[in-house]
Structure 1
Amino acid sequence: MNFTISSTKKQELIDITDQVNELVIKSKVKNGICNVFVAHATAAIVINENYDPNVCTDFLNALNKAIPDNAGYLHDKVDGNAGAHIKAAILGPGETIPVENNKLKLGRWQNLMLVELDGPRSDRNVEVRVVKEG
């Protein structure tokens, strides 16, 4: 199962919790695990809070402070997006979440987020696999 996400900014966190939960419900898996994977080298999947938008802003600010864009990376001579590749590699392309009672078992303040690091893009492909327990 999969879906496509469009981004509107160079960098942003996009809440994909509802889209993934819909696919979990469609799977009819009562208990198990859900693996979410973004098939791109300049995007990532993380679990983070989305109730206070300042958390997403702080997240991106801290990430950019640790790994600044245009810092003389060799790949910047090719595409100008080496920083996005490095950030995505550190964050990782996927997350695995428990499924309980046919829905994602996330904590109260947890959301599943696609991290866009080289946008805007119209074609971020998110793959979802739901595996039954046992």
Structure 2
Amino acid sequence: MHSLVVPTTRKTELVDITEIVQDAVRADGFDDGILALFCPHTTAGITLNENWDPDVQTDVLLTVDERIAPPDPRHRHGEGNSPAHVKTSLFGSSQVVLVEGGKLLLGQWQGIYLAEFDGPRRRKVWLKFIGG
């Protein structure tokens, strides 16, 4: 298993971690199988999304922040980060990516993102290789 540390710089952001994940696959010598990615945080998650046009990430975050889980004075959680918990539940804490010939099998426009909802922080992402 590999453990990555991903620093975030803003309250809410999508950090493209595709290359560092690919580097970990290469460093481990993992050739073919399944790569499970897991983010062990309750206010950050993992998602796959378009990595060609940065406007997509901006639009995703605007929709989530303003429409799906905006701050609300009725939230009761004492830390004030209830929207971050909701967003993480919606995005999810894990993804599975196929690996073939030592390369991540992603769609032409896909990338792997750490979804930060309560930053800035230093987040962990765990990688588990299943196969050979």
Of 58, 64, 70 in structure 2, the residue corresponding to residue 68 of structure 1 is 70
**Which letter does structure 1 place at the counterpart of 2:127?**
V
What TM-score comes out, normalization by structure 1 length?
0.93
Question: Which residue does 1:56 correspond to in 2?
Answer: 57
* Contact persistence 1:27–1:130 (CA under 8 A): no
Does residue 4 of structure 2 align to residue 3 of structure 1?
Answer: yes
Q: Deviations over 1:74-99 (max 9, x none)?
A: 11xx1000000011011111100000
The CA RMSD measured in Å over matched residues stands at: 1.1
* Counterpart amino acid of residue 126 in structure 1: V
How many residues get paired? 130
Paired residues for 1:38-49 under 5 Å: 38-49=39-50
Aligned equivalents of 1:90, 1:125: Cα separation in 2: 19
By how many angstroms is 1:71 displaced? 4.7
- Structure 1 residue 37: deviation in Å? 0.8
SS at match of 2:129: strand
Q: Distance in 2 between matches of 1:91 and 1:69?
A: 17
Q: How does 1:53-132 map to 2 (within 5 A)?
A: 53-64=54-65, 65-75=67-77, 78-121=78-121, 123-132=122-131
Runs of 4+ that moved beyond 4 A: none
Structure 1 spans left out of the alignment, 5+ residues: none
Name the amino acid aligned to 2:88: A
Q: Deviations over 1:18-71 (max 9, x none)?
A: 111111112222110001111110001000012211100100011121111235
